[in-house]
Chain A
Amino acid sequence: MWTYILRRLLAFIPTVFISVTLIFVFTRLLPGNPVWALIGDQSVSADKIDEVVRQMGYDRPIWVQYLEWLPRIFVGDFGYSVFYKEAVFDVIVGRFPVTFNLAILSLIVTVVVAVPIGIIAATRQNSWIDNFSMATTTIWISLPSFWLGFLFIIFFSVVLRWFPSSGYREMSFGFDAWFSRLVLPVLSLSLAHIALLVRMTRSSMLDVLGNEYIVTARAKGLSEHKVVYKHALRNAFVSIITVIGLIFALNLGGSIIIENVYALPGLGQLVATAALRRDYAIIEGSMLYFILVALLVNLAIDISYTLINPRIRYG
């Protein structure tokens, strides 16, 4: 088991390395480079441009820039944002809790709703729950999340006045203030993923339930409850947990759009604003942060396999 975990950790290093390099390539080698973003529409002399280029170190060979950049980002030095007049890392860390709250709450809602529905759909095939969920999953994954978000605002905030339509309050303002502002964002983010996870759970349960050891378990007279929850679910969970990890990454990505619908001051809103202003330092830093979190989640999922399914230990 420990060799497996060690092997995963070793494989993790090149993955991080490649992703991080990709970010460097994106921000440095695409046209519209950071210098022009800083200068913007001002008319400046060629000398002035040269000066900015030199100040930012962009006149040096690209590999020198890369070698200097690489070690810095691993100690959390993501540069300085001229727009926020603050270190990029601090700006991001200040914003991350909102995004994390949104992503985690969404994940919890998704799992709590979807896994039971998926199990029921698999164990009672062609029941109304099975038919209904299979018929509607395609609808849920086809709705643009931001549009769904606006529909929720129209219905739940404007018409029914149940929840505030936008903004964020920290938990220190009270649970209600915090929770009521996250209900609609979480709901808009979760629906499509619930649909995905229901399908996934159902199909992996059906796969497992078709196995011979399930027939054996039934034949030796175990209760249906024990067969489903003890024998089948444990094995189905290996593929379910992959999807759960994927959904966390989808939630992080989805938060970019949802935060802009509900004016939540998280990373997603930060990135979108930075992109509009071409604030390269922030864009680069957020990409780094997003990818590192996503990769760490992947790693955690990989390792958790060993805990659920002992067969993988030596795999």
Chain B
Amino acid sequence: MDDTGVASLPGTGATARSMSARWYRALRLVFRNRLFAVGVLILLPLIVMAVGVSSLTSYDPTTINTSIKLQAPSLNHPFGTDEYGRDLFARVLHGSQISLRVAAAATIVMAVLGIVLGCLAGFYRVADAVISRIGDALLNFPGLIVGIMVMAALGQSERNVVLSMVIMYTPRIVRVVRASVIEVKTIDFVDAARVIGASDLRILASDILPHTIAPLVVQVTFGFAWAILVESGLSFLGLGTPPPAPSWGNIISDGREFIRTAPWIMVFPGLMISLAVMGLNLMGDGLRDILDPRLRNAARRIETSVG
């Protein structure tokens, strides 16, 4: 197996043509991994549905029509209707937009923050003392309790859900980035860069950062899966995305009163969550096998579980 996929990180002034050839080779390498390919196959339809929701259903997810309330799945309403007669197919599809958007926003913010703090912690001892201590303390709190606290203090909104997820998960990304910064900074080329007078910032950006990308990408993929689970968990507790926005967790939460009479309300959104999370977990496993073969054990999987 060639390793050009790993080496072909963008940069180094290649021509447009050889760049696209590199990307093509990288893609082929990545998709040759079965786990990754299956993960993409599971996730892609969900994203397509979230993006193209308006062409897939003409029902509005919040329109109330009590004359058709609590109907079982039928041709007209493939996922049935809820206690207000809202079409659940429309709600679940719109929900995928909300849930994926919130999770993606959180993932992006924690990735950026994780890189910055991870580089600082890995590069400067003083920063490390502060960042890692606080990060470890945050990670010691069981389950969603930190997120619950933040949501209780700040109130329910999409932004606050993102914020509480960032507080809970960023320390894990920091750990991963920090570990690879520490590993790389002892290698000779960093000393060489310093000898020719490169600044800390330049060393970090051009010599160290590229080496943190592989573990970062893996951890961020698991972080995305984690964020989807956490969004649904917080919403289920009534501390997530504010209703009546049909996030997946909110729909399940709506359905709990009707668990005996209308179980379909909660079955479909739960399936969507499971599929999205499974797709991302498989992609993460695949990426880890491709990018980071040394870390093929299950240890870091434990960190993606919400419990």
Q: Is residue B301 within 8 Å, beta carbon to beta carbon, of the partner chain?
A: yes
Q: Is residue B27 within 8 Å, beta carbon to beta carbon, of the partner chain?
A: no
The complex places the Cα of A199 from the Cα of B151 at a distance, in Å, of 34
Q: Is residue B229 within 8 Å, beta carbon to beta carbon, of the partner chain?
A: yes
Q: For A261, what are the chain B residues with a Cβ–Cβ distance below 8 Å?
A: 256
The complex places the Cα of A200 from the Cα of B305 at a distance, in Å, of 14
Q: Is residue B212 within 8 Å, beta carbon to beta carbon, of the partner chain?
A: no
The complex places the Cα of A158 from the Cα of B262 at a distance, in Å, of 12
User: Which chain A residue has the least Cβ–Cβ distance from B276?
Assistant: A142
Q: For A298, what are the chain B residues with a Cβ–Cβ distance below 8 Å?
A: 140
Q: For A202, what are the chain B residues with a Cβ–Cβ distance below 8 Å?
A: 298
Q: Is residue B73 within 8 Å, beta carbon to beta carbon, of the partner chain?
A: no
User: Which chain B residue has the least Cβ–Cβ distance from A199?
Assistant: B298
1/0 per residue, CB under 8 A from B, across A188-199: the answer is 010011001001
Known interface pairs A158-B259, A199-B298; A276-B239 also in contact (CB < 8 Å): yes
Q: For A145, what are the chain B residues with a Cβ–Cβ distance below 8 Å?
A: 306-307
Which among B76-84, B101-109, B152-160, B189-197 touches the partner chain? B152-160
Query: Is B153's CB under 8 angstroms from A31's CB?
Result: yes
Q: For A203, what are the chain B residues with a Cβ–Cβ distance below 8 Å?
A: 296-299
Q: Is residue B119 within 8 Å, beta carbon to beta carbon, of the partner chain?
A: no
Q: For B305, what are the chain A residues with a Cβ–Cβ distance below 8 Å?
A: 141, 192-193, 196, 250
Query: Is B149's CB under 8 angstroms from A287's CB?
Result: yes
Query: Is A19's CB under 8 angstroms from B236's CB?
Result: no
Q: For A189, what are the chain B residues with a Cβ–Cβ distance below 8 Å?
A: 307
Q: Which of A26, A202, A286 has the most CB of B within 10 A?
A: A26
Query: Is B140's CB under 8 angstroms from A26's CB?
Result: no
Q: For A276, what are the chain B residues with a Cβ–Cβ distance below 8 Å?
A: 152, 237-239
Q: How large is the interface on B (under 10, 10 to 19, 20 to 34, 35 or more residues)?
A: 35 or more
The complex places the Cα of A15 from the Cα of B153 at a distance, in Å, of 24
Q: For B150, what are the chain A residues with a Cβ–Cβ distance below 8 Å?
A: 26, 30
Query: Is A154's CB under 8 angstroms from B144's CB?
Result: no
Q: Is residue B302 within 8 Å, beta carbon to beta carbon, of the partner chain?
A: yes
Interface residues of A in 214-258 (CB under 8 A from B): 243, 246, 249-257
| Closest chain B CB from A73 CB (angstroms) | 15
The complex places the Cα of A149 from the Cα of B260 at a distance, in Å, of 14
Query: Is B229's CB under 8 angstroms from A253's CB?
Result: no
1/0 per residue, CB under 8 A from B, across A20-57: the answer is 00100011001111000000000000000000000000
A275 contact from B148, B259, B270, Cβ within 8 A: B148
B229 contact from A26, A144, A256, Cβ within 8 A: A144
Q: For A199, what are the chain B residues with a Cβ–Cβ distance below 8 Å?
A: 298, 301
Which among B7-15, B172-180, B278-286 touches the partner chain? B278-286
Which among B17-25, B61-69, B85-93, B130-138 touches the partner chain? B130-138
Can you list 20 pairs linking A and B with CB atoms under 8 Å apart? Answer: A18-B134, A18-B136, A27-B149, A27-B153, A143-B277, A144-B277, A147-B266, A200-B297, A202-B298, A252-B142, A253-B142, A257-B237, A260-B236, A275-B148, A276-B237, A278-B152, A286-B145, A290-B145, A291-B140, A291-B141
